Structure 1
Amino acid sequence: MKKGYRIKKNVEFQAAFKRGYSVANRQFVIYILKKEQQGNFRIGLSVSKKIGNAVTRNQIKRYIRQVFHELHDEIKCGKDYVIIARKPVAEMDFHQVKKSLQHVLRLGKILK
């Protein structure tokens, strides 16, 4: 993902947690913060050490980034999304991750 599409700073994560709202399913929690002045959407990823070792965590993050890359045109702009992966994601392959993320994105009315 390009730099303009990423959330990296702790202050930005905390703003999403405090001022945003969340939607969740068993595998993911997504915090959504509206930012009208922003031309595109941004995503921040949080994958805890509880989920697995570094290889597993990085693979999950790659899967999530790829899903957002594939759904880029369908995702509403002008918002920040913080995605938190839960424990069951560790045993999922890419297609299962994509299906689960699409489900939670529909719950949050994020897809156009």
Structure 2
Amino acid sequence: MRKSYRVKKETEFQQVFETRNSYANRQFVIYVLEKPGQPHFRVGISVGKKIGNAVARNWVKRRIRQSITELKPQLKQDADFLVIARPTVAGKSQAETKAYLSHALKLAHLLDND
């Protein structure tokens, strides 16, 4: 996923958090900020220390990024969103991670083919 598709700055993260527009399942929390006219979606990924050590956290982030890349054609383009991983996602396979993330994105109305 290219850098233009990422929410990187602290101020951008805070803008999305301040909307208080969140959706959750047992594995992920999704915060959404609608941005009409934006050429493509942007995503921020947060994995806390409760997931495990740095290796485990990076493993989870890679799986989330891969899942988003696979779901990219179906994602709503005019939004910024944050994906926050909960501890239950640690140790899940790529297929399970993608399924759980897809479910959370459907709850957030970010997948076009609801």
TM-score bin, normalised by smaller chain: over 0.9
Compute the RMSD of aligned alpha carbons. 0.9
Q: In structure 2, how many angstroms separate the alpha carbons of the residues matched to 1:111 and 1:19? A: 19
Alignment partners' CA distance in 2, 1:7 and 1:108: 18
Q: Secondary structure at the match of 2:38?
A: coil
Residue type at the aligned position of 1:38 = Q
**1:20, 1:34 within 8 Å by CA — same for their partners in 2?**
no
| Percentage of identical aligned residues | 50
| Structure 2, unpaired ranges of 5+ | none
Compute the displacement of 1:37 (Å): 2.9
- Kindly state the Cα deviation for residue 29 of structure 1 after the two structures are TM-superposed: 0.1
- Counterpart of 1:89 in structure 2 is 89
Gaps of 5+ in 1: none
Stretches of 4+ moved more than 4 A in 1? Answer: none
What residue in structure 2 maps to residue 21 of structure 1?
21
Structure 1 residue 63 and structure 2 residue 75: aligned? no
Q: Which residue of 2 aligns with 1:7?
A: 7
Tell me which residue corresponds to 2:72: 72
**Shift, 1:101, TM fit:** 0.5
In the superposition, the TM-score normalised over structure 2's length comes to 0.95
1:108: Cα distance to partner?
1.2
TM-score (structure 1 length as normaliser) = 0.96
Instruction: Tell me the alpha carbon deviations over residues 86-106 of structure 1, each in whole angstroms, 9 at most, x when there is no partner.
Output: 010112111110110011111
